[in-house]
Amino acid sequence: MDTPSPRPEDQAETCALCGELPDDLNVNTGRGECFPAAFDRLIPVGIPSPSQGQRVGSQFRRCPNCGAFFDWSDAPQMYGSGNCDEERLVRLPATTSRLLNTLFPPDPKAPPHPGEIGEYFRSLPLDLLLRALGSQVRTAPIILTPFVPDLARHLGVSEDAGIARLLGAYLSHIPERAEDIEAAQARHAQIILNKHFARAGFAPGASSLPGNWSSFGVLFRDAVAGLAEQGAPSPMMKKLLAELVEFIQAFSGNRPNDKLNELIGDSRPLRAWLGSYLPANDATKPRG
Ligand SMILES: [Zn+2]
């Protein structure tokens, strides 16, 4: 069956299937309320996103008649005397529906050309784009491939941990894209280092951003190993190390211990600083 292309918004509102649904609908399922019947005819697409903030989960749904997209979410709200579980359904704008339609193609193994990638970043809220891509990353990572360079660029200007998690999940499914992801990781790690150094009034370690993790390791040791020789890490350095380790661990599919060991290199003082972040049997082992 062909997937219908989303029509302009005014037509979607007169859709025989989803037209009866309001643009934004909250339903108190904890008290027995339910959505209008048309809700059940919308087609869920992608894997549901896990909880974020107050949301238990969310998933996009597409009208099989007009192609309009809806954003469904489930938010538990336990307060007062009763169960106030709420579900929310929001009709997404026509432009959003058109872009999402490309991200949820009928045949995920042969996705259509996504068009200009920049438009997705300009037209969609970042959270929504990340959820859409995240809901496809495990089953159809190829859909993400054209987005990786822009996602990596956004790592440079945004501290959104969601991008790091998404790229990590992507990497774990498409090993051959490892170089793109690693460049993004190295770039962001350097940005973390520069940020903390700038806050402490230090000159940044490097003016250009590294292109791979090994290069970042060299820059990291240049900037930090000398300080490690002076003794225990300063409060600034503790924050830097904690953020860096958290960032590395966000790429769960990417063997964080190897990444940390690569930063430590042969530096004994750095091993003393960072060893606590490694599993016990890794902490004392010199790098081979
Ligand atoms: Zn419709």
Q: How far is the CA of 39 from the centre of ligand 1 (A)?
A: 10
Residue 61 has pLDDT above 50, yes or no: yes
pLDDT-based confidence at 9, cuts 50/70/90?
very low
| Minimum mean pLDDT range among 136-150, 210-224, 248-262 | 248-262
What pLDDT score was predicted for residue 133?
94
- Under the banding of pLDDT at 50, 70 and 90, the label for residue 91 is very high
For residues 106 and 100, the model is more confident at 100
What would the mean pLDDT of 175-184 be, rounded to a whole number?
Answer: 71
Distance (angstroms) between ligand 1 centre and the Cα of 94 equals 11
Average pLDDT, whole number, for the chain?
Answer: 81
Closest CA to 259 of 224, 226, 212: 212
Q: pLDDT confidence of 48, banded at 50, 70, 90?
A: confident
Of residues 287 and 183, the one with the higher pLDDT is 183
| Mean predicted confidence (pLDDT) in 75-82 | 60
CA of 185 to the centre of ligand 1 (A): 41
When comparing pLDDT for 138 and 177, which is higher?
Answer: 138
Report CA(47)–ligand 1 centroid distance (Å): 21
- For residue 184, the CA-to-ligand 1 centroid distance in Å is 39
pTM for this predicted structure: 0.62
Q: Is the per-residue pLDDT at 3 higher than 60?
A: no
Q: What is the pLDDT, as a whole number, of residue 222?
A: 92
Between the CA of 100 and the centroid of ligand 1 the distance, in Å, is 15
Phi, then psi, of 44 in degrees rounded to 5: -65, 140
Question: How large is the average pLDDT for residues 194-203?
Answer: 85
What's the rounded mean pLDDT across residues 76-85? 62
In this predicted model, which residue has the larger pLDDT, 258 or 247?
A: 258
Distance CA 166, CA 265 (A): 28
Percent of the chain with pLDDT over 70: 80
